[in-house]
Structure 1
Amino acid sequence: MAKPTSTQSTKQTTKKPSDGSKGSKKKGFNFRKVFIGTIIAGILAIICAMAIYIVVIMSGFKILDSNIDKINASTESTLIYAQEEGKDKNGKDLPATEIAKIYKGENRESVDIKDIPKRLQQAFVATEDRRFYEHSGVDLWSIGRALVKDIIHMSAVEGGSTITQQLAKNVFLSSEKTAFRKGTEMSIAFALDERYSKEDILQRYLNRIFFGSNAYGIKAAAKVYFGKSNLNDLKLWEMATLAALPKAPSRYSPIANPDLSKDRRGVVLKLMADQGYITEAERVEAAAVDYVAPASVSQGTKDYASYVDYVVNEAEDVYGIGEDELLTKGYRIYTAMNRDAQKIMEQTYATPSFSKMMQQMDKKFKAPWSLSITRLGA
């Protein structure tokens, strides 16, 4: 067998790629698939959002329905009046005079929305929830604005709670600051807005919020800070002072901190002017007034204490009204007491000798009473 010579070269065969393929072929951008994927993702996002919305709404209605007694119930102070004798200049009987207020826990008096001046309502709307009449219980625009400010300042500098949310928190929830509590608050607010009118929500809000100095509700606050029972008697600067309180009742109390109260009142008036509720001239005039505390405000039973004690006992013994009910259900008790005669009698009774004699007489006699008792809203 012949061996290859040294001059012979061995052929090495190498496979060359064909002209049509130069490496692996790249896939092109498929716009159609991306478009379809985006549409599907959008639809799924909408479905998820709707599902979450339905769950939130249903959760709010469930909480509202299971606790409906809370939104309708509230403690109410009982007022005791003395019917004045005589006639006014028009020949009408003189109005009864409030001589005492008795309550348990919260000093609260409710008032119907029709008896709350429109401008007073506007003061609270302008300050607490400028889009109150536009949103559905939760103002997403305000929440977004507050979130942006919080991110910029790296802290919670602005809240986004509406009047409806504040009512929901006040009635149904605690004041803890958690995401779950905030979500629950929003769900209840949606339900409240669906179930009640704006006027009803505003009325419940103004009758429930705390104004400091143990005053709950706008009417009790007007009495405490200005000595006025009729809200229509409030002046613009007084309305703005009251609207300034819910943010921080102790800090902005006109009694405790008149300067801070005046500054905060100025903020309220500026908001009212910016939103077209008052003129610039009205703002300037109301902002300049200095607060003077009322000479006397009926908040308890300091005057006519013994008489009030007898009234309470009579209400229980004769009318069968228990003490707890009397202190929380907003009764209006009209008596035939003569204030001047009562003061003289109490001063006389305070002398030791007369007091001893009267104690002996009390064992033998029981004075007749003439009470007229009505329950608020009855």
Structure 2
Amino acid sequence: MIWETSAGNLANRATHRSSRWRGPVARTPRHLFVPQWWEVDEGQWTLREPGNDDEWFRAAYADRSLITRVGRFHADCAKSDDHPTGRPTSSATLPSLVVGMFQHARLEDGDELLDIGTGSGYGTALAAQRLGADAVTSVDVDQYLVETARDRLALMGLRPTVETIDATGPLPFLPKTFDRIVATVAVRSVPGSWLRAMSNGGRLVTTIAGTSLLVTADKQPDGGASGRVEWDRAGFMHARHGADYPPALSVLLATAHEQEGEEVTTGPYPVVDVTNAWDLDSMLSLTAPGIEHDYRTDGDQRTAIMAHADGSWARATAVGNERPVVHQGGPRRLWDLLDQARTYWLSHGELPVRGARVIIKPDGTTILTRGGWHVKLTP
């Protein structure tokens, strides 16, 4: 199988005929950036090593994300009997989402781009094909990812600047600035260093950590930026500051399945799978960041668990759409916070997060506001 045929088919799916991104997608050998990847098989992470080009191209040129790192384990360096534990820490993002982020940036010929979150390097390749390699700078906190992406880009004849940097901290590029910054890692609030690295009138595209909220903002004369939460949805891994994320709350989540609550009530609304209710999850994450979820079904019985690193937890159980029995413990009542968001939704007909106005102060303080609702996200 010739890879160009597969890349052309991907371009048909991920772009429209008149898109300026159609050519870059069709010309980029995505399989070079994902020689191996992780998938969940029977409840554990399992390495996928394509046995032939047909299998390799079928996965690499599908419009889906491929997990390339779990915890500290890079798929490139793994063996077939490795089964890492932990959360995904890097991926080759689905191409249509990468293209969508670049489209929101409104890239024009001659723009200088800062690509935050090199990952596999595939998105960097698309940008370099579109703008020219000299116009693209890409950064990632993971040295192995950076070095590997740099080598794979060179195989295509592309040599953009690719550096190992924790982009949530100081950026070493000044006095050079960028016309566009696109982040394919999520942040709670916009780092002030990103604003300082933007040209006057430059445009930023990013996502808010723990949400599916995609933010676009244009730099203002005061050094801040203003924009909006787009109606599109996008989700990326949180920006890392080191080799891995902090440990998950698996012990507290497991304990919450069994223990008696300090407070036991009957909830007003049916049990909901929060992580798959994207706007509700986003609203909750803005007001109470850091909550982890578990959701299980047993026949008609539904159980939702919430836990937070401060020791707060909640468990709601019900049959079908009946009102749930809710157990809660710790310093905060997490299920009550969820119910407050659901009450707002019912009272106003929608949640205010989607389409909200975004104001970013020069220090990175990020304010979302819509109607009488607002939330402040501080650095």
Q: Choose 1 or 2 for highest CA Rg.
A: 1
TM-score class, shorter-chain normalisation, is: under 0.3
Q: Tell which has more relative contact order, 1 or 2 (C-alpha 8 A, sep 6+).
A: 1
TM-score between the two structures when normalised by the length of structure 1: 0.24
Higher strand fraction (1 or 2): 2
TM-score by length of 2: 0.24
